[in-house]
A and B are shown apart, each in its own frame.
Chain A
Amino acid sequence: MDLGVDAIRRMQSWAERRLPALTRYRRPESLPIELHRRRIYIVPTGFGLGFTVLLTVMLVGALNYANNAALLLTCLLGAASTASMLIAFRNLDGLRLTTIQAGHAIAGQPLTLQFHMQSAGRMHQAVYLEVDGQTQAFAIAPGDSTRVVFSLATTQRGWQPLPRIKLWTSWPLGLFRSWSWLYPQQSSLVWPRPEAHGPPPSQPPDDLHRRRLHHGEDLAALRDYRPGDPLRHIAWKVSARHHSLLVKDFEQPEGHEAWRLDWRQLSALDHEARIARLARWLGEAEAKGRRSSLWLPEEEIASGIGQAHYTCCMNALARLP
């Protein structure tokens, strides 16, 4: 049986090399991707081939011994096996990959990917999702959807395209394998890895900073209005000069100075080392609950705090050339 599986695997890889149009879609596609008859392929599994040989033996035996009852049941088993091929096809047909949610990963750490699979009003069972050599099985009830979570290895920061995805099933009897390749047009951003240790960021003189903060209606202390903010927090005067409502932010921790993290101050280091240092500082700021602003060659991120700010800064770092 192993030999058969090997042979099939070799044949599959040959077909993928020689007949790419036949075995998968070559160009990345946009989500959602729905599986349909043009992109589902079926071959017998090794077990299926073995079972066929067994059925042939039984057929010849039944004919030779003129045993009609055995012939009838051999025909029954043969017809059922063939019908299972159609079920294998239907098990994939109509399955949709709606979205892929990528988590945030630092280069070298695994990236979490959530695949949202949706059924089109039909039960799908024992479907395998294969990403980058990892396999997971899932089932979806009719009209339902499910998430399949993978963690993908990362090596370097920046945009990382998703690997080719394979959906396959050998439902219901394991005699046939139907499969389809997916090549979603989606990349995920891998953050730079922070350096292990280094000096803390150099800070501008305290008094200057304090003066700026207490100068009155500085924009750094204001933020956009969000539904639910109390009316008395709205900075009406400032808002009048802007297009949108601004709200006085009272949540800023008192007594902490904002870190100004500037790319240009690190000219002594090389490109990647600068990024790594900035990444570490951002991490420390986030851990200590300090406000920070990031100044990059082509991008400036105003002083802020919190997970969204951190993500925004790390994304900017990851995107650097």
Chain B
Amino acid sequence: MLSRSRLGETTIDIRAFDLICLTMAVVLALHMPQLPIWLSSALALILGLRWWQRRRWPGRAPAYLKLPLLGLLTMAVIFQYHSIFGREPGTALAVGLLVLKLLETETPRDAQVSMAFACFALMAALLFNQSMLVTAGVALGLLPALAALRALQPARMATTMPRELLPAFGLLAASLPLTLFAFVLVPRLNSPLWATPPTPQARTGLSEQMSPGDFAELLTDDRPALRVSFDDAQPAPAQRYFRAYVMWRYDGRRWDYMGDPRPPATVESADSIAYRISLEASNQRVLPALDVPLAAPAQARLSADRELIADKPVNEALNYSLRSALHYRLQAELDDREQRRGLQLPADFNPRTRALAAQWRQQFGKNDAAIVQQALTMFHNDNFRYTLSPAPLGRDAMDDFLFTTREGFCEHYASAFTVLMRAAGIPARIVTGYQGGYWNSLGNYLLVRQSDAHAWSEVWLAGRGWVRMDPTAAVRPERVSLGAAAATGDQASWYRNQWLQNLRNRWDIVNHWWNEGIIGFDALRQRGLLVPFGIRDTDTTTLSLLLTVTCVLFAAVGLAWALWRRRRQDALSTAMRTLERKLARVKVIRRLSEGPQHYLSRAARALPHQRRELERLMDAYLSLRYAHDEPPTEPLKAFQKAARNFRPRRTST
């Protein structure tokens, strides 16, 4: 027992301090990705030193250390972000202040304030990344925070450090049902209360430009880009082309996407396929779609080239349903302007490529399809190599690639092919997007990673419209049939290990569920919550009512638990009551004033067939009840068993 007075006057013990340090370490670890490395290492150092110092010499860190550190922190944040307002600087400042608060954390009150602030800082980590792993990390960070609050209480039963976390875990686990109901039912805002500033972030992903070599980084990025679930059968691997950007303009080095505001090109199609895409945050406005989408989802539109453009950048995971054509004729007629754009080439670049194209044109005359075939045959036969680390290209990049280096990946092939087609007078354009993906049979969806990014060409052939041509497939057919991982077989590194890759692909189903169920649960989905119960539109009033009812129900359950007390049952009395119940069935009912001996003798007289058995029971009961202070275990068990097995038989005489 500790004799301590009120909170606030004492200092916290070493266990509580350790838990506080642990909480702060978790906060720091979760914020590591968005903090500059020097700031997070400095904060980690302060945290470690303070922990060590308090173990050696308990007490506050001196004030002459605290104030300069506070100044330094503010200056560091301003130096890094040029402001202290906004998401990144605000978070950096909050995390820094939290760690500095540790320097003066000595009393329970300080510790309580620290831990409340730590909860806030933990949540702030979710502003940057809502993935399941980070959310789970934050939830784990709540454990030491709650355990620290618990450890501030005096006169506790001493336990080990891991056992300190157990009650906090139990508390969180017990709160989970209410949490889930509240999460589903808390009415979402249809429009934000205050404007949320757009927060462009540097992410690798498709971009509005493409020049050969750009994808090299992307193709080793294993993060999921999108997940697709098909309403019916999934398309064959060779048909899994997800178009994102269509690029027309070429300046000799780079391909550029130019938004075209005109109405979407006509498409004639015989079949269509319905599916749903769950897109990871990309900070781009383009929504990748399987081949040629037939209509745009809400809050997006179709561009002239049938790209899907969202109204605002996709900063959070987004779900949308689509219908696409796989066999189609896209834009059967090409007007003069588009013809010109489709043939545009910078004048003084790549002379040898142009010469080659001119030679083909002469050779095949007006047969565009034959020229296309010739180009593909060349890629297939002339020792072109697929590699993610090709030799650098010079000024006449396509000349160098086609005639000198002959190695590269999809961007090189698509680019070279498109330039060749244009030089030969066939309208052609570059399309970037994703190709392939991993079919997760467990979750029935297609997982497309950033490493599945791909570039290909579309050529316009009279009568057939825009036709997809994938020169990479000519060089390395596995790229299309098996996916990006198979194509880069020669550059296998440890994380491309087949077994590990499979494991990661399977694990992705959890992320998929997370994005679909939690992150994607928006105001729209909430309104459709009660559709299975016949309510088409669940409005805010209904939601509030439901939330209140749920809270009342949970309060009732909680109160029942809080008020419930384990009655101290006497095993012997319980067994005796069992016996009484059985005898009552044959009308031998114990009177209120009747003692056990009298009652059981009466029962023995009433049931003469079982006289011996009942007398044995009576003797056993009397001996158990009156011969000992506490009934001995073995005879008690025997009595319980006998009482349980007793079957009263009334003689029918």
Which residues of A line the B interface, CB within 8 A?
Answer: 1, 37, 47, 50-51, 54, 57-80, 82-84, 86-87, 89-90, 93-94, 120-121, 123, 125-128, 135-139, 141, 146, 148, 170-174
Contact = CB atoms under 8 A, between A and B. Distances in A.
Contact of A127 (B5, B155, B157): B155
Given A47-B112, A137-B1, A172 B183 contact: no
B7 A174 contact: yes
A172 B170 CA distance: 12
A58 B565 contact: no
Contacts of A80: 142, 146, 171-172, 175
B115 to A, nearest CB: 9
B127 interface: yes
Given A72-B179, A77-B142, A126 B6 contact: no
B126 A67 contact: yes
A71 B183 CA distance: 7
B189 A66 contact: yes
B2 A137 contact: yes
A78 B139 CA distance: 13
Nearest to B3: A136
Interface stretch (B17-25, B449-457, B518-526, B590-598): B518-526
Given A73-B126, A77-B119, A148 B175 contact: no
Given A69-B126, A83-B558, A170 B153 contact: yes
B533 to A, nearest CB: 23
A115 to B, nearest CB: 12
Given A64-B194, A141-B157, A73 B1 contact: no
B130 interface: yes
A70 B167 CA distance: 23
28 contacts: A1-B109, A54-B120, A60-B193, A62-B123, A65-B192, A65-B196, A68-B130, A68-B518, A68-B520, A69-B130, A69-B134, A75-B179, A75-B183, A76-B179, A77-B142, A79-B175, A79-B182, A80-B175, A82-B178, A93-B562, A137-B1, A137-B155, A141-B157, A170-B7, A170-B153, A171-B150, A173-B149, A174-B152
Nearest to B156: A125
5 A-B pairs closest in CB distance: A79-B175, A126-B153, A137-B155, A137-B154, A69-B130
A70 B5 CA distance: 37
Interface string B101-126: 00000001100110010011011001
Nearest to A53: B116
Contacts of B138: 69, 73
B222 interface: no
B3 A69 contact: no
B175 A73 contact: no
Nearest to B191: A64
Contacts of B563: 37, 93
A171 B172 CA distance: 16
A54 B192 CA distance: 19
Contacts of A170: 7, 153
Nearest to B148: A173
Nearest to B139: A73
Nearest to B520: A68
B565 A138 contact: no
A64 B558 CA distance: 30
A315 to B, nearest CB: 30
Contacts of B176: 76, 79
B319 interface: no
Contact of A174 (B2, B122, B153): B153
Contacts of A69: 126, 130, 134-135, 138, 518-519
Interface string B501-541: 00000000000000000111111000000000000000000
Contacts of A54: 116, 119-120
A64 B196 contact: yes
A84 B2 contact: no
Nearest to B2: A137
A219 to B, nearest CB: 41
A148 B1 contact: yes
Interface of B: 1-7, 108-109, 112-113, 116, 119-120, 122-123, 126-127, 130, 134-135, 138-139, 142, 146, 149-150, 152-157, 167, 171-172, 174-176, 178-180, 182-183, 186, 188-189, 192-194, 196, 316, 518-523, 558-559, 561-563, 565-566, 568
Nearest to A150: B3
A76 B1 contact: no
Contacts of A90: 562
A86 B157 contact: no
B277 to A, nearest CB: 19
B558 A86 contact: yes
Contact of A126 (B119, B127, B156): B156
A57 B593 CA distance: 65
B126 A172 contact: no
B183 A72 contact: yes
A138 B155 contact: yes
A83 B135 contact: no
B157 A139 contact: yes
Contact of B155 (A79, A94, A126): A126
Interface centre among A69, A83, A121 (most CB of B within 10 A): A69
A84 B558 CA distance: 10
A65 B87 CA distance: 12
A70 B6 contact: no
Interface centre among B120, B186, B523 (most CB of A within 10 A): B186
Contacts of B112: 47, 174
A122 to B, nearest CB: 8
Given A1-B109, A54-B119, A139 B155 contact: yes
Contacts of A59: 186
B126 A76 contact: no
A171 B7 CA distance: 12
A127 B192 CA distance: 45
A169 to B, nearest CB: 8
B153 A86 contact: no
B562 A68 contact: no
A33 to B, nearest CB: 16
Contacts of B134: 69
Nearest to A89: B562
Nearest to B562: A86
A67 B520 CA distance: 10
B107 to A, nearest CB: 12
Contacts of B568: 120-121
Given A64-B196, A66-B316, A73 B135 contact: yes
A148 B182 CA distance: 43
Nearest to B108: A174
Given A67-B130, A72-B179, A137-B3, A84 B157 contact: no
B135 A63 contact: no
Contacts of B167: 172
Contacts of A136: 1, 3-4
Given A93-B562, A172-B150, A173-B149, A76 B186 contact: no
B126 A70 contact: yes
Contacts of B523: 66
B155 A68 contact: no
Contacts of B150: 171-173
A146 B522 contact: no
B536 to A, nearest CB: 23
Contacts of A126: 153-156
Contacts of B130: 67-70
A78 B547 CA distance: 14
Given A37-B563, A83-B558, A138-B155, A74 B2 contact: no
B178 A79 contact: yes
A72 B135 contact: yes
Contacts of A37: 563
A171 B150 CA distance: 7
Nearest to B523: A66
A119 B138 CA distance: 37
Nearest to B518: A68
Given A1-B109, A65-B192, A148-B1, A74 B171 contact: no
Contacts of A77: 119, 142
